[in-house]
Chain A
Amino acid sequence: MVTLKILVVDDSEAFRKVMIELLVRAGFHDILEAESFEQAVEVFRRERPKFTFVDMILPGKSGVEVTKSIIAIDPSATVIAMSSIINKTMIRQSLDAGAKDFLLKPTNAIALSSVLEMWSD
């Protein structure tokens, strides 16, 4: 069992559940959830997860704003942007905001494991 803390930010409960299932299968059990910008920032500030997976399209403030706020709190945070389409402009904005990588939704065990391995210290 891996004891890394992971935060999943997505307004879709169904997608959060899929991500949690994939993460649990990969051996991660300390998983936190948030469905909005405000919740994400609050949970991140309190729990300081190692990885934060952020959906780029959220109601209200976008995933780019979430990324900027998280990086402002902890510049060493590992934020992974997610989206159901590959919008190159949005991905570049996310990377410019401090995201380390991008995952296409719905993701899968191979892509997710690759990202976790790539960005784990």
Chain B
Amino acid sequence: MSLFLFKKSKAKGADKESSLGISRKYKLLPGRAYVVEESPPDMSFDAFANLINTHDEGKKPVGLAVTRQHPDLVRQKYGLERTPIYWLATKTGPDVIAPTNLGILTHTLINFVEEHENGVILLDGIEYLVSNNDFPKVLRMIDQVNDHISQSSTLMILPVDPRAFETKEVALLERNMERMPGVGGI
């Protein structure tokens, strides 16, 4: 059963977005994971959309988004035509990951890291994951994904609503990640 679910969750169809001819606004490095303390996660989504719609030294990244927002709304607002978007929700359906199923989520993200060069992951909805699990479990999942990212050309953007976490928890999140350059802390 779990093998079947793992296969289903694989980030199939991840493809590059068509070129827009606009400039790259965010100087984020491959192999890093960035925490963005903000609510709503506007800057994180803007950075994600900007990175996967622009070239950097001829390399155009491919993206994968995990979000609490409905994928149709995300596609419409950010003009994402080819990027896989997974919806964190309790509803069943294609491209839906249950918030309690951290195994599937971890597997999906690690698969994406292993299978794509110059990947960009947006992991939105950490607060929702924590409310459905517990903080240490979610932190372990993020650290596990981050271990793979740090040895790859993929980068990850992790929006965090600082109001939803204790200061210590934010510090633990940032222990193995970086703050988005230019963004102030709590």
Total inter-chain residue pairs, C-beta < 8 Å: 61
Contact in complex: B23, A118 (CB < 8 Å):
yes
Nearest-neighbour CB distance to chain A for B151, whole angstroms, equals 27
Report chain B residues within 8 Å CB of A111.
25-26, 43, 46, 50
Q: Which of A81-96 contact B (CB under 8 A)?
A: 84-88, 91-92, 95
Contact in complex: B53, A110 (CB < 8 Å):
no
Contact in complex: A110, B43 (CB < 8 Å):
yes
A108 to B20, CA, bound (A): 20
Q: How large is the interface on A (under 10, 10 to 19, 20 to 34, 35 or more residues)?
A: 20 to 34
Report chain B residues within 8 Å CB of A114.
23-26
Residues of B within 8 A of A (CB): 18, 20-26, 42-43, 46-47, 49-50, 53, 76-81, 180-183
Residues of A within 8 A of B (CB): 84-88, 91-92, 95, 101-104, 106-111, 113-115, 118
**Can you report 6 A-B residue pairs in the complex whose CB atoms are below 8 A from each other?**
A86-B80, A91-B20, A95-B22, A101-B23, A110-B25, A111-B25
